[in-house]
Chain A
Amino acid sequence: MRAALLLVALALAFAASILLPFGLLGSLDPDILWSLIVELRLPRALLALAYGATLGASGAAVQALFANPLASPDLTGTTSGAALGAVVTAYLFGFAAPVALSIGSVVGALGALALLLALAGPKAETATLLLSGLAISALAGALTTLALALAPSPFAFYDAYDWLMGSLIDRSLEQAAFAGLPAVLAIALLLRLGPALDRLSLGEEVAQSLGHDVTRLRLWVICLTALGVGACVAICGAIGFVGLVAPIFARRLTRGHPGRAILPAALVGALLLLVADLAVRLAPLGRTLPIGVVTALIGAPFFLWLVAHMRWRLAS
């Protein structure tokens, strides 16, 4: 029942992304209207869908892996690492082709996740996990800004905002495919890991005793997360909080099971990002608000609620 509502809401949000603002559409003739929708609005809506779903799914998977509801791609520095990888590849090394950008971003995400494992370890307690993630985010963010300042193009520095706070504006259908296809692949493969991640709730040893190779599971989750998040960040920059909030809602739908929550989290994440993008487009402000600001405004209160709610875990 709740799942059906979620799908309906998602469909509505997607349709709204294509059709709103409606006023403009009425005054155009058919082939221009078609171009407008296909070349401008559709890529944007598809990107919101793909990026949101990726953040939700990988957020749920990483949280299941670290057995911690605070382990999301943004808090652990994965999105920042991806942005750094993309920026260094394109602005400093000059490999600006879409494939190179995506590869740079994926490598950056992998690096951040590997660093997190090295610093915090797979069975990290909350405080260690948060601190390590914070350190990695801060470092990646600073290095990204530095890289942009050192880039040959004088316009690079103005791009910092886009990379650090995300943007879905004026991306082409081709770019949407570059983000969307790896994202879909990553999500599909992550879904197959759901049952194993559920059993991980019983503890790593019990999961092993049940026949799961936890080391390989960890490797898969990390690589798939890096693939999906990397591909999306290469096109849209780093967007935060969706990967933290979507799994919270998803686990409510699955009675707390973290692995089963991957699919609902993908749907919730997609919905959240579509709504955030709608807010960016329809807000009656003079200027455009970066989408990362909107997701932070939505997500930060949840983050605070989560921390307060988690005292039982922090205390134990």
Chain B
Amino acid sequence: MSTGAPVAVEGDRKVSVEEARAHGLSADEYRKIEQIIGRTPSWTELGVFSVMWSEHCSYKSSRRHLKTLPSTSELVVQGPGENAGAIDVGDGWAAVFKIESHNHPSFVEPYQGAATGVGGILRDIFTMGARPVASMNSLKFGSFEHRRTRYLLGGVVGGIGGYGNCVGVPTVAGEVMFDAAYNENILVNAFCLGLVRKDEMMSARARGVGNPVLYVGSATGRDGIHGASMASAEFDKESEAKRPAVQVGDPFTEKLLIEACLEAGRTGAIVAIQDMGAAGLTSSSSEMADRGGLGMELDLNLVPLREAGLTPYEILLSESQERMLIVAERGREGELQAVFEKWDLHAVVIGRVTDDRRWRMRWHREVVADLPVGALAADAPLYDRPAVAPKLVRDPEPSPNLSRKVTGEASAKNALRALLDSPNVASKKWVFRQYDSIVQSNTVEGPGSDAAVLRIKGSRRGIALKVDSNPRACALDPYLGAVGVVCEAVCNVACAGARPVGITNCLNYGNPERPEVMWQFIRGVDGLRDASLAFGAPVVSGNVSFYNETEGRAIPPTPTIAVLGVMLDVSQHVTQFFKNPGDAIAIVRTGRPSIAASEYAAVFGIDGGKLAPIELEHEAALVEALVAGAERGLIRSAHDIAEGGLAVAMAEACFNPRAILGAEVDLGRAGNADAVDFFGEGASTVILSIAPGDVTKVEELFASREIEFAVIGKVTREARLQIGKAIDEDVSELMRIYENAIPRRLAGSD
């Protein structure tokens, strides 16, 4: 066994603390490396450490806090630690799901950045043996008026569609927001969910000394080298030059890889499998070995290459897409190779599992890297970074205009029209029409309602999915904002009639080395934890994206939450749209709304204010009642109030794509027609429509749980929206505004 110093390769530079710094490692971190390995690292090893110890791969600033998140329940099949989490959804099926960021590359090269974000999250799912069945995404762009926004929007949407449509995984839901706070740092968070028989799930834990290690999929090129490092630094004026660090996607190969991996899985010859994502071959090999408490030795000369002349450094750090690493059962590698050959993909044995807990890389027989497996993962630095509340948040200044009256008819009417015309409220049809939302024949409700609903073939059960965020609320109060995001996403799933059973999160923040950002992050995790506990919906997977900042300006704290809900009978699912004239319209809520951080506040330039408090027990009771109502078939429609408040939600409920309807309501007991009554937002107000004969039963469901319930009007055949005396509008005219807002802006100028 050789543990001597690895040899140098032609082109290697002399390793020093300065070179380490240039690789993004601190002087302390460099000293720690020397201490762990007892010598100066080779050039290749330095490269390897720099990516594995990057924030993106090591979670060195966040790990300590993420550990506090609840990750167990009787339904959890796999919590954090594998490539994705998994929840038992019944009838022998496990849902494997995760959300991940691809923010930095998407800003530098929007089409490929977003496309490879989709590709990467898909691989995290099918590496678990699950067939990817649904994608979602959460996108944040700068203001529509910003010069780069339309370019970035077109590129990102094109990239998501270009990749997702070509691999045959439907994009079933998503959210898109425009805000000047994202002018210099857009967010692209991609979610994927797969289904696998519970007993057929695959693992990324290497087992069996002597087992062969197979490289499968695309050949390795120079693209994406140091992508993980790019995602671990702020942007500056030179960021454009980082374009070569963005990978290029090949969805066709991904599609073949999905089919081949799932088919290979059925042979039973796969011991462990992991995709080559961030830090490529390095992370996949070292993490699989580390999880199994074993070592791995690879011969880099055997790696399929796109071009000649790659160095071991480049091979190990390449983030070329559509590649997987497999540990096979010894003697059965031929079975696997036959499957990959059928799909015209590379499948090459490049090494073996060893028992010495070392990660050893060979190049022309010589050792070029030889490290203790743990050094790259478990022994990576762990920081408890200082956190300080920024002054503004410690001392909120209530805006004087917060409770202003909507006086006269004109202003409520104009505000409603202005909100429907705001890109954040308006129809996102221009976006989701570019995504295949129906392939695989499971999409019961696609984009456009509160939550997406999927059926599970061969089962009566259904799945509801929602991805959500609320950065404006999180900017005012990062704790309460995060609690609110979970409440809202959970409520949306419950509106569809599904019980929330699991959460995945993508935590997007600025530079964690700044104490205010760290404070925002910690408070966000606290909020996520408390809300997750209240709903009994554990956080089974997730991702952290720090350094979303440019020249010292960070994005607002943006925890993005995706919730998985399960319904016992998918045919009982509920949508947000009014169904029948004459049905009673009721609102149920757990508290009063607030103008603070609302879309109304953004449109009319009202800053600051205080978020409405949230009582988590009430929120959980609301969810219970919504699910019970749906399961008993008592709820005709349910729509959660979000951007734009009650008035916008009423209009949206009228926009039934099958046939638009009207509504006649009077807020009466529920509010006095202040701006806050019409346009205030809160995580926990739902508009229901109910058959007249069922009103008492539904009221009982909510009243027995001490949730405010008020019938405020009825659904009408005539497509007019009447709210008290203040609003009386033609619904088709409102719908025209709502549908044209984004196309109109895209058609404008140039």
**Do A and B interact?**
no
Q: Write the residues of chain B forming the contact surface with A, with a CB cutoff of 8 angstroms.
A: none
Q: Write the residues of chain A forming the contact surface with B, with a CB cutoff of 8 angstroms.
A: none
